[in-house]
Amino acid sequence: MFNAGKFLSEHFTDADGVIGLVGKHWSDVPQREAVRKWFSRGSLPADWIPVLCVVLEREYGPPVSLAPYIGDEQRDIFA
C-alpha cells in the first residue's frame, strides 16, 4: 500500500507546507483542516496524489518517485 504519511512528511513537512506549496503551483488549494487530517491519519484522497506529485515536479524539477512509498510486498499469488 501507499505510505501517504511518509510521503507527506518527507516532501511537505506539515499541513502548512502542503498549503503553501499547493497554493504556489495549483489553483485549487485544499482546506487546512482537511490537510491536517491527512497527516494525522497518514492517508490522503487518491485525487490529491497526482496533484501533489505535479506540484513537487513544478517546484523541484524531476518527477517524484513513488517507489519508496509503496510497500514491498512481493508474494507469489500462485503458491
pLDDT in tens, 29-70: 999 999 999 999 999 999 999 999 999 999 999 999 999 999
78 occurs within a structural domain: no
Global pTM reads 0.86
Q: Check residue 71 and give its pLDDT.
A: 79
pLDDT value of residue 76? 65
Confirm whether 11 is domain-assigned: yes
Q: Is the pLDDT of residue 73 over 70?
A: no
Residue 1 has pLDDT above 90, yes or no: no
Long-range contacts of 22-29 (CB under 8 A, 24+ apart): 22/51, 22/52, 22/55, 24/55, 24/59, 25/54, 25/55, 25/58, 25/59, 26/51, 26/54, 26/55
Total tally of structural domains belonging to the chain = 1
In a domain, 45, yes or no: yes
Residue 77's pLDDT is 65
> Which residue is it, cell 519508496?
68
Contacts of residue 23, defined as CB under 8 A and 6 or more positions apart, other chains included, come to: 29
Domain that holds residue 44: 4-69
Whichever domain contains 35, its CATH number is: 1.10.260
Residue 75 has pLDDT above 80, yes or no: no
